[in-house]
Amino acid sequence: MNPAPVARPLPAGLSLERSGATTTVSISWRNMASWGLLPLGVVAAAIPIGLFFKLHDLPWNDPIQLVVVVFGIVGLVFSYVVIRRLLNVTRLEATPQRITISHGPLPWRRPSEFATDTIRKVEVRPFRWRYDGNVATHYYVWAVHKDGHETCLLERDTTEEQANLVRDEIQQVLNAGAAVFLKRP
């Protein structure tokens, strides 16, 4: 008797759900930089808000009050960006008919959807960028369509292992969909 196959462990920050013909891969946006920026985001929002209440008796056209308001808006936007990176997840839902990409729970881009029969292949591409003399490499997952058009399925700070797993899962769904299509009378 053969032992049951052992599923490979999922990389950190990734979750995988299978339900019938649907495969959902979820990738967390959270990373160490997000945690490091959280105190800065709180301070960036709290100082201007505190100053606003301290200087509330100044007229609105006073230059100090206008600077406080501008810094308050910038601080709130920065805080939103940091909190969004801590909480959001990208979900790729693949069925034999379509792939849906969504982000949440905090609003970001609109969900996108496209038919799987238009996809020729799914591939992983490295993205390298320099900062402070160092080179960082992230891996993006791209769908190459039959007409030559390309769609980026995953562009977060993904490792090679995460990107390869996402590619393999989507390719498995595409192959299953092609097999079902070929079996039709």
* Residue 22 pLDDT level (bands cut at 50, 70, 90): confident
132: alpha, beta or left, given left = phi > 0 and alpha = psi -120 to 50?
left
Distance CA 37, CA 82 (A): 7
Give the pLDDT confidence score for residue 180 in this predicted structure.
46
Q: What is the pLDDT of residues 30-48, one digit of tens each?
A: 877 778 888 888 887 787 7
Percent of the chain with pLDDT over 90: 2
Domain residue limits, the chain: 14-29+88-183, 34-85
CATH fold, domain 14-29+88-183, is PH-domain like (2.30.29)
Give the pLDDT confidence score for residue 53 in this predicted structure.
74
User: Any bridge partners for residue 25, and if so which?
Assistant: 16, 92
> Exposed, middle or buried by CB within 10 Å (0-12, 13-18, 19+), for 99?
buried
